[in-house]
Each structure stands twice: as C-alpha cells, then as structure tokens.
Chains A and B, each alone.
Chain A
Amino acid sequence: MSEPFEPKIVAFVCTYCTYAGADLAGTSRMKYASNVRIVRLPCTGRISPMFILKALQKGADGVLVSGCHPGDCHFAQGNYHARRRWTVFRALLSFTGIPEERIKFSWISAAEGAKFAELINGVTEEIRSLGPFEQYQELQKIIETQSTY
C-alpha cells in the first residue's frame, strides 16, 4: 500500500444539537480529522436505520449517528425514540457481524464543540485502526462484477 488508509465516515446528525455543535467547533477554529461527511437531519428521530445501510453500501468504513442529549431534544422526544431504534438496530448489526466499533452513537449538544472535535478525531482514529470495512465493501464489489452463476 502506498498511501496510508484514510477511513470514510458518514455522520447523520440532528440540526439542533450536533450540527450546531459542529458549527461551534468551527467557529472556535478547533481542528479535527477531515474524514467525516455530515448529513443534516431535523432530529435524530428522523434517522432511519436504512441511512446507515446505505452509507455502508457507499463504502463507509464507519458511521456516526449523533443528536441532542436525552431531555434536550428540540422536538422533546425524538432522541428518545431514536435511542430505542439504535439499541435494537445496533444489536441486529452486531448479530449479523457488522462490528459495533464501526457504528458509533453519541449525544453532542450545541455547546459541545470541543466534544464534537474530540469525537471525530477519536472515531476516525479508531476506524483507521480497524482498517477498511472490506467485508461489506466486498458485497458491493460482487454486484459490480459478473454473476457467479
């Protein structure tokens, strides 16, 4: 390998807390790894598990899902609903062999710019050390090659 592995990470965040937290990291000129692409949603309640699967299909080596702390949801309850879905979906992914380490969940408030920057660095580092998610990416490759039958 000539170039070191740079993981591709897709983040699904709510606009009111984590997106704003990322904005704060920006306005505070904190520096963090550039591997994460953010998809902005109104609320974590809007984040469907399908998003995570599609991100993996698109070659993400890791996925981050983040929203308001419990009790802080702009929509009062969206993150509580999201938390249940994540609990179940995470168990499901893990059971099918998608490593838990690759799918991260966090609460980041609009005030936690520093936490956001740290998290991005931490997650990027962890996924980098895990290496590319070849097993899943292989599934996509099979599609693109000839039918084996």
Chain B
Amino acid sequence: MTRILLHTRLDDCLAAWRASGYSVLAPSKSHELTRFNEVQHASDMALDLVLPERTIKDHFFPQTEPLIRYRIKKHEIDTEEMVPPELKRIFFGVRPCDASGLAIDDPLFGWDYKDEYWFRRRGNSVIVTIACTSADDFCMCTSVQLSPDSTKGSDVMLTPLKDGRGWQVLALTDRGNALLETIPSILQESDAEPAPPASVPVKFDIDKVTAWLADPASFESHFWKEISQRCIGCASCTFLCPTCHCFDIQDEGDTYSGIRRKNWDSCSFAMFTMHTSGHNPRNTQSTRWRQRIMHKFNYYRGKFDVNSCSGCGRCTRQCPVDMGITETLQSISNLPR
C-alpha cells in the first residue's frame, strides 16, 4: 500500500498548499511558451508535456538578477544589497531531469562561497517531481546515468498510476515530508499499480566519452572542428540547459543611480572570453563548443564528480541547426579507439 494523489484532488491540494503559504508553480502554457508559471488551478497546468520548453533553473538562477542598487553622489557611492524575497514555493510537475539539474548545480554554487541567491531560493522551494512515462526522440537521461524516474534533486516523487487516475506519492526529503503533512486528508492509501517509466534508449557510452575527453590529446583533436562546423554560436542550448550556470556581472544605470546585476552568459558567445586587448583565446566556434562539452563532461566531473548534464535533450530539441550534446557525445563514443 502506498499513498496516492488523484488528479481529481489536485485542486484541493493546490488550495491546501496556498493556505499553508506556498505559491505553486507548474508547467503551463502562456504566450506560446511552456514554462513554470504560478498556477491557481489544476486546469492551468500542462502536465502531459514531455518537458516544458524552459527549465526550472530559471526560478533559482534567473536570467537577470539585481544584486546591488547604487546611487552616485558627489564624493561617494551609496549601495544597498538586493536580496531575493522569502517566498515559499512549490514546483509541481517537475521532470526528473530538471530536478536533477538543480542537484547537479548545488555543489557549484556552494563549493567555495555559498551563493546566497541560489541557496535561499533552494531552501524555500519544494520540488515535486513527476516521473516520466513518455519520452521523445531527444530525451537522453539514461545516457548520462540518470533515468525517467530518477529522484535526484526531488523532494517529492510522483509516479503516474497505470490506470491514469493519479500518482503514487513518495516524500524523499524532510521538506517533502513537511509538504505532504499539509495535505494528509487529500492523499489516500491505495495499491494501484504505478505505470512503468518511459523507455529512453541509451544513446552513447558515457564512460567511453569521459575517458576520451580526459585524454589530453583529445583537446586538439580535429574532431571539434568537424562536429561544430554548423554551430552558429547562439546561446539557446546553454540558456535552456538545466545545468548551465555561467554568468556575467553588469552595472546598468544612468548618471545618478543604477543596479549591479547578475546576467546569464554563455560560452557559445564569442564575447564570452574576449579580452580587453582584443585577443580572444577561444576565437572560433569549435573551441567554444569544445569548452562546453569539456566543461560538462570533463572539468565539472573532475571537480564535483558529476556530469553537468541531466539528459533533458533541450540543447538538441531547440537547436536552430540541429546540433546538441547527443550528436557530439554519440560521435565521440563512436570514435575509433
């Protein structure tokens, strides 16, 4: 016997959570885009998507974030720190890959200096994940040692029932338990069978890939030029990635005042490594693509012992020229030894 949540009780659930001071964000479609928006009703949610187009990363590490407000005075500059508000949030209907993305990024934001913006939001948020029972051609979680029902990064795991009436509910963390305690009467005990997870074929041999990347000779391989030839150097892969985390600090303002902000940046951009002198150590797109792959599957792994990829496949799904991590890693894993 496990606890289940029926679709029909979802609205009650939302009401209870709101009553407990949470705001609920779930995949929904607004202005031709699927992303995590605040929802009031179950009917606002788009839970049948394989994946929303935007990740939940956006809500922890926003594309632009104000850090400091400054005012320029005659002889000094007044500053005022801007910290994110304390907001209790539930992310409902997160896919395992997106939830994993948060867990993958946690060590990065905390290894030397604890990024207050990230962890304050992490601490205030409960991740309610729904295991995947369907996948599309681009899904690749199984290739990066994750799975359609991976619990990594989740506080509560929902597994769809075979009969389609609802989900099996499993709290994974204290935060998850606390959340479920707000809805004791809404959950019920049942022995309904869970639906099997989606079948996601393994597309490359990650061990082979990481071994090749770790080989210093690979750095100068002609492979990079070949594989990245059509890359146009946009940042749609990095900005839609649940784990990419590079940023830039910018001051924006007028003569009298302004705001220092943290903005997403991307290794795909030529400007990313441009020096003031005009010299650019990564002056071709192939060196930039190499950096992206190396970072995710070699350097990050070396530092935090985890690949900086959760296999969501957005990089390929959204790529204007049909590139992406899958093709590159597939090609690496097919390289002759």
Binding site for B on A (CB under 8 A): 58, 143-144, 146-147, 149
B320 proximity list for chain A (CB < 8 A): none
B254 adjacent to A146 (CB under 8 Å)? no
The 8 Å CB contact of A146, one of B58, B63, B82, B252, is: B82
How far, in angstroms, from A146 to B62 measured CA to CA in the complex?
11
> Main SS of chain A's interface residues?
loop
How far, in angstroms, from A123 to B85 measured CA to CA in the complex?
43
B65 in the interface, Cβ–Cβ < 8 Å?
Answer: yes
B66 adjacent to A147 (CB under 8 Å)? yes
Nearest CB on B from A58, distance (A): 7
B64 in the interface, Cβ–Cβ < 8 Å?
Answer: yes
How far, in angstroms, from A143 to B69 measured CA to CA in the complex?
11
A147 adjacent to B65 (CB under 8 Å)? yes
| Contacts known (A149-B58, A149-B59, A149-B62); A143 close to B85, Cβ less than 8 A | no
B interface residues, how many (CB within 8 angstroms):
14
A149 proximity list for chain B (CB < 8 A): 58-59, 62-63, 65
B170 proximity list for chain A (CB < 8 A): none
A147 adjacent to B254 (CB under 8 Å)? no
B184 proximity list for chain A (CB < 8 A): none
B254 adjacent to A58 (CB under 8 Å)? yes
How far, in angstroms, from A133 to B252 measured CA to CA in the complex?
22
How far, in angstroms, from A144 to B84 measured CA to CA in the complex?
13
A143 proximity list for chain B (CB < 8 A): 66, 252, 259
Interface residues of B in 245-274 (CB under 8 A from A): 252, 254, 259
A147 adjacent to B62 (CB under 8 Å)? yes
Interface centre among A143, A144, A149 (most CB of B within 10 A): A149
Can you list, as one digit per residue, whether each of B33-71 has a CB less than 8 Å from chain A (1) or not (0)? 000000000000000000000000011001111100100
Can you list, as one digit per residue, whether each of B79-101 has a CB less than 8 Å from chain A (1) or not (0)? 00010110000000000000000
How far, in angstroms, from A123 to B252 measured CA to CA in the complex?
31
B252 proximity list for chain A (CB < 8 A): 143
Q: Which 4 A-B pairs have the closest CB atoms?
A: A149-B62, A147-B62, A147-B65, A149-B59
Nearest CB on A from B45, distance (A): 19
A147 proximity list for chain B (CB < 8 A): 62, 64-66, 84
How far, in angstroms, from A149 to B65 measured CA to CA in the complex?
9
| Additional 12 contacts, C-beta under 8 A, given A144-B69, A144-B259 | A58-B254, A143-B66, A144-B66, A146-B66, A146-B82, A146-B84, A146-B85, A147-B64, A147-B65, A147-B66, A149-B63, A149-B65
Q: Which residue of A lies closest to B121 (CB)?
A: A149
